Structures are given as C-alpha cells and as structure tokens.
Amino acid sequence: MSQQQAVAKPRRDVEALLLLVALGIGIGASAMVSLDRNEALGSGFWFQAGTLTILAAGFHVVLRLRASYADPVILPIVVALNGLGIAMIQSLDAATGTDAGANQLKWTAVSVLIAAAVLWFLKDHRVLRRYTFISLAVSAVLLILPLVPGVSAGDINGASVWIRLGPLQFQPGEIVKITLGIFFAGYLSTHRDLILLAGRKVGP
C-alpha cells in the first residue's frame, strides 16, 4: 500500500498575520518611548511606523513572488526584534542627546533593500554552495583585519573591532555574520548524510 506524501504548501498568509503582531510589538515599543519623552506621538514616530510597515510589507511581497515556500516565522521575528532594538536605541537617545534611533532606521531600510535585491536576483540559492570554503576564508580574513596596522580604526568604546577604509568606518564582523552563514549552510547541506550517520553520540 502506497503512502500518501504530504505536499508542502506556501504559508505566506501565516507570515502576514505574524507580521501584524511583529509590527505591533515594534511600533508599540516605540510609541511607549515617544510618549515617555513627549505628551503626544509626533511626526517622527509616525514616519518611523510607516517606514517599518512599508519595508515589512514590501519584503513580504518579494517573498511571495520569489520564495513562496520560505519559512513564515523568520521575517516576523526579524521585524519584531528590529523594532524593539530601535525603540531601545531611542530610549538611550533621550539620555545622550543623540539621534541614533533615526540612523538605525536608515540602516534598516538599506538592509531590507539589499536583502530584497539578493532574493530577487539570486534565483537559485544553491549556487552559493560553490563558495562554501571561500566564504570561510573570507570570514577569517575579515576577523583579522581589525588587528592589521593601517587598516584598524583602533580602540573605539574599548573594543578593537572596527576598520577604516578611506571615509568609511565599519565592523567587518557584521559581514562575517553573512559569510559564516553561507559557509555553515553549504557545509551542513553537503555533509548532512555523514552527520546523520554519526548520530547523537557525544564523546568517545
């Protein structure tokens, strides 16, 4: 007797509902910060809320078109954590007199646009397997760069994790998060049969 195999279904509607919850968490946190600083929600709050909503909805549409079978939970989690992060930064802005929250929102927009472009133009993510160990080598080089004289930006806030390339100053560790992700995804996918054969045994 043949067994009927379950057919995977796209769960973008589930993602849409979770996105509403995630946006409510992030925007709600920013609203609490804004109300704590002011008596009313100003134009800056509404601009931020609108920007986050447009970015989340836009990326959701890209997922529907290009990766309809993608995990429906990842994007809502990212949206919620990012919204909470912006709210926490804004609460610190009140004490330091800075506007780092707006800067974080700007980089959020840049990141989402880059991610959407990659998802749109990279039709088959499996081609990244070709660069599994190249990604590992790139990760190692990037982690060493903050220690290289002439490239290192020195100690900033007690940590030597920044590099300076002309007018640009950034942490290469942020790029390493991506390159290591590519390495581990490729390695685990290629060697999954060997890993499964090893079982769950720990130690000799």
pLDDT, one tens digit per residue, over 94-117 is 777 788 889 999 999 999 999 999
Q: Cα(78)–Cα(74) distance, rounded to whole angstroms? A: 6
Residues 101 and 32 in one domain: yes
Q: Cα(71)–Cα(12) distance, rounded to whole angstroms? A: 9
Question: Residue 142: is its pLDDT beyond 70?
Answer: yes
From the centroid of its chain, how far is CA 56?
12
Are β-strands 168-170 and 163-165 bridged in parallel, bridged antiparallel, or unpaired? antiparallel
Structure confidence at residue 1 as a pLDDT band (50, 70, 90): very low
- Mean pLDDT of the chain, nearest integer: 88
Q: Residue 55's domain spans which residues?
A: 9-123
pLDDT the model gives residue 204 = 58
Dump pLDDT digits (tens) for 152-193: 888 887 788 989 888 888 899 999 999 999 999 999 988 887
Q: For helices 74-96 and 100-121, what crossing angle results, to 10°?
A: 160
Q: Are 189 and 129 in contact (CB under 8 A)?
A: yes
Tracing tokens 């397997």 back to the chain, one arrives at 129
pLDDT the model gives residue 94 = 76
Q: Are 85 and 104 in contact (CB under 8 A)?
A: yes
DSSP code of 126?
A: G
Residues 116 and 149 in one domain: no
How many percent of the chain have pLDDT more than 90? 59
Question: Residue 8: is its pLDDT beyond 70?
Answer: no
> 62, 92, 123: which is the final residue of a domain?
123
19 closest CA partner among 82, 100, 108: 82
> 88, 105, 123: which is the final residue of a domain?
123
In a domain, 4, yes or no: no
Residues 129 and 92 in one domain: no
> 96, 123, 150: which is the final residue of a domain?
123
